[in-house]
Amino acid sequence: MWPRLTDEALELGDEVTTFADLLLLGIATGLLEEAIGFTRRGLWALEQVDADLSRERLREEAVAFRRARRLESGQDLRAWLEARVLTMDDWEAHLLRSLAVRKLAASAIPEGAPEIGLDCRAFAVDLVCGGWWRRFADLARRLWAASRLVENDLDLDEDHTGDEPGHIMAMLEPLATLGEPWCAEALRRVRSRERALEETTRRCATAEAVAARILEHAAEWTELRFDEILLPSREAANEALLCARDDGVDAADLATRAQLPLRQRCARHDALPLEAASLLEGALLDQPFGPVALDERWAVLWLRERRRPSIQDDATRAAASAELLEETLLRATKGLVREVGLL
Give pLDDT tens digits for 161-219: 667 767 777 777 777 788 888 888 888 999 999 999 999 999 999 999 999 999 999 99
Count of other CB atoms within 10 angstroms of residue 301: 25
Count of other CB atoms within 10 angstroms of residue 227: 21
Predicted pLDDT at 47: 84
Predicted pLDDT at 323: 95
pLDDT 10s per residue in the chain (343 long)? 778 889 999 999 999 999 999 999 999 999 999 999 999 999 988 888 766 677 888 899 999 999 999 999 999 999 999 999 999 999 999 999 999 888 887 666 666 555 566 688 999 999 999 999 999 999 999 999 999 998 777 665 665 566 776 777 777 777 778 888 888 888 899 999 999 999 999 999 999 999 999 999 999 999 999 999 999 999 999 999 998 888 888 999 999 988 999 999 999 999 998 888 888 888 899 999 889 888 788 999 999 999 999 999 999 999 999 999 999 999 999 999 999 999 8
Predicted pLDDT at 293: 87
Predicted pLDDT at 45: 86
What Cα–Cα distance (Å) separates residue 106 from each residue in 40, 102, 115? 16, 8, 20
Predicted pLDDT at 120: 86
Predicted pLDDT at 290: 85
Predicted pLDDT at 107: 66
For the stretch 290-317, pLDDT in tens is 898 887 889 999 999 999 999 999 999 9
> What is 219-265 written as a DSSP string?
TTT-EEEEEEEEESSHHHHHHHHHHHHHS---HHHHHHHHT---EEE
Q: Distance between terminal CA atoms of the chain?
A: 14
Domain 219-307: state its class: alpha beta
Domain spans of the chain?
8-202, 219-307
Predicted pLDDT at 203: 94
